[in-house]
Structure 1
Amino acid sequence: MARQHARTLWYDRPKYVFMEFCVEDSTDVHVLIEDHRIVFRLHCLLSCKNADGVELYNEIEFYAKVNSKDSQDKRSGRSITCFVRKWKEKVAWPRLTKEDIKLLKKVNTKRPPPGMDDLDDDSDSADATST
């Protein structure tokens, strides 16, 4: 069975971190919220919008400790939302994960910038005046 990550949105608030796993028409959902991590697992069947036989799986180590006993999840037709209670309230999280994961690699080019000789300012004004 193939395994993919579910698209995940998160919102930082003073008392909670809200996480939304964006999966429509989900069945067989398992969410485990622990003090240092969350595990989201979903087997996609015919009712799921993904291909048959695909397991959506996210395991996230939180940036900081949470209160798993005062956290919960709620399923709707379009997503699974998790309300994760922060251990330290009113402390902003700069990211969701424990590790600072870089999603975009730094671009390193040693070439000169491209030439702009083909851009001619006169061509725009000439087009505007000709009829």
Structure 2
Amino acid sequence: MARAPCGPLRRQHARTLWYDRPKYVFMEFCVEDSTDVRVLLEDHRVVFSCKNGDGVELYNEIEFYAKVNSKDSQDKRSGRSVTCFVRKWKEKVAWPRLTKEDVKPVWLSVDYDNWRDWEGDEEVELAQVEHYAELLQKVSPKGPPPAMDDLDDDSDDANGTSSGL
């Protein structure tokens, strides 16, 4: 049986998780023991490349859904991944997806552990305050506090002595 010639390994995509916040979009490129890490962050895209612990070259290029502020963004490398904190150009605008194209690559997933539906949080908070105010209005008035004049200041203790301080 003939063997195929050994050639250079083909590039693969790094598994990527992302989630959205009012000011930032977070991306995590999941690569353990990465080396030769390069992150090129531009206003409309990110290019990520590295080698994993087995020497396989990983490469991802993502055209962003919307413009970002590449100068106010950063990345952080750990032993298990490379995380990018990408500052949105327009804050408080939710991104329905990370990519410009409405096609989800198989290597890209939402990070449901960190995902939060923050859009409309102010409305939810305002509704909770209004609900609390309504509850306070529904509470029946209790009237004046009870009179405390029936308490005896000079009560005797078990030894028959006055307990005044």
Instruction: Give TM-score, length-normalised by structure 1.
Output: 0.71
Give the 5 Å matches for 1:1-131.
Answer: 1=8, 2-44=10-52, 48=53, 51-52=54-55, 54-102=56-104
Q: Distance in 1 between matches of 2:97 and 2:76?
A: 22
Amino acid of the residue matched to residue 11 of structure 1? Answer: Y
- Structure 1 unaligned segments of length 5 or more: list them: 105-131
Aligned alpha-carbon RMSD (Å) = 1.4
Structure with greater proportional helix content:
2
In structure 2, relative to structure 1, the CA distance for the partners of 1:38 and 1:102 (3 Å cut) is closer
**Which string of whole-angstrom CA distances, capped at 9 and with x for unpartnered residues, describes residues 81-117 of structure 1?**
000000000000000000000569xxxxxxxxxxxxx
Find runs of 4+ consecutive structure 1 residues off by over 4 angstroms.
none
Q: Distance in 2 between matches of 1:77 and 1:39?
A: 20
Instruction: Give TM-score, length-normalised by structure 2.
Output: 0.57
Bigger Rg, which one: 2
Q: Percent identical across equivalent pairs? A: 84
Structure with greater proportional strand content:
1
Q: Which structure is higher in RCO with an 8 Å CA cutoff and minimum separation 6?
A: 1
In structure 2, relative to structure 1, the CA distance for the partners of 1:80 and 1:102 (3 Å cut) is closer
**Which string of whole-angstrom CA distances, capped at 9 and with x for unpartnered residues, describes residues 42-101 of structure 1?**
123xxx1xx44x210000000000000000000011100000000000000000000000
- Structure 2 unaligned segments of length 5 or more: list them: 1-7, 107-165
In structure 2, relative to structure 1, the CA distance for the partners of 1:26 and 1:97 (3 Å cut) is same
